[in-house]
């Protein structure tokens, strides 16, 4: 963890050019328990003016979700997915979001982004393509950090500042977004 998956996804999600391509944008933090009822409720809460907190009837939630998403172009980010218990759970979640449910003839270009640190989760989700973010090497992260943290004439003239910067990049663990 900690190489910038969430940060990169936030940049995509918040980019105005990308955002203008979608009628609906939804961000759900999933974490270690892939609870299809909770995730469906959160998605519904984002697309409706109604709270679904007390509702646990999954079929009813799915029907409402299908109604709200029908003929809409959407971007959904499922952030920090640790586990997708079974492929069946994943398919249940996606049921009302699949093209045959949201009128594929009217809407194309829907997107679901999944961030995960676990390759098998990405595979189980059936990603169209995955991007494996790697930590930067020490020299690369130092160059990036220097470029943003110091003015051009500053870093060489103050050894204490440079030492502090080098200590700081060790804490960043190669994360380019933290630099």
The per-residue pLDDT for 7 is: 85
The per-residue pLDDT for 121 is: 75
The per-residue pLDDT for 63 is: 93
The per-residue pLDDT for 105 is: 47
The per-residue pLDDT for 25 is: 95
Domain boundaries, the chain: 5-124, 138-172
The per-residue pLDDT for 22 is: 93
CA gap 109, 76 in Å, rounded? 12
Residue 87's nearest CA partner among 128, 131, 120, 62 is 120
Concatenating the DSSP letter of every residue in 94-140 gives HGGGSTTTTTTTT----EEEE--S-HHHHHHTT-S------PPPHHH
The per-residue pLDDT for 177 is: 57
The per-residue pLDDT for 27 is: 96
Produce one character per residue of 104-136: b if its CB has 16 or more CB atoms within 10 Å, e if not.
eeebeebebbbbbeeeebbebbeeeeeeebeeb
Reported pTM: 0.72
The CA–CA distances, whole Å, from 53 to 41, 57, 62, 81, 82 equal 7, 11, 14, 21, 23
State which residues of the chain have pLDDT below 50: 104-105, 155
Concatenating the DSSP letter of every residue in 43-79 gives HHHHHSSS--TT---HHHHHHHHHHHHTT--EEEEEE
């Amino acid at each position: 963890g900690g190489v910038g998956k969430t940060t990169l996804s936030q940049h995509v999600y918040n980019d105005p050019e990308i955002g203008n391509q979608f009628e609906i944008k939804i961000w759900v933090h999933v974490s270690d328990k892939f609870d299809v009822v909770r995730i469906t409720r959160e998605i519904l809460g984002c697309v409706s003016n109604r709270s679904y907190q007390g509702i646990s009837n999954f079929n009813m939630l799915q029907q409402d979700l299908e109604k709200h998403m029908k003929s809409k172009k959407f971007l959904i980010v499922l952030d920090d997915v640790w586990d997708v218990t079974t492929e069946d759970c994943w398919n249940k979640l996606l049921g009302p979001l699949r093209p045959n449910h949201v009128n594929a003839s009217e809407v194309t270009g829907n997107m679901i982004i999944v961030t995960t640190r676990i390759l098998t989760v990405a595979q189980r989700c059936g990603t169209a393509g995955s991007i494996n973010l790697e930590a930067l090497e020490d020299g690369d992260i130092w160059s990036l950090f220097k470029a943003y943290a110091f003015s051009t004439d500053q870093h060489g003239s103050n050894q204490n500042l440079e030492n502090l910067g080098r200590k700081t990049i060790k804490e960043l663990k190669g994360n380019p977004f933290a630099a």
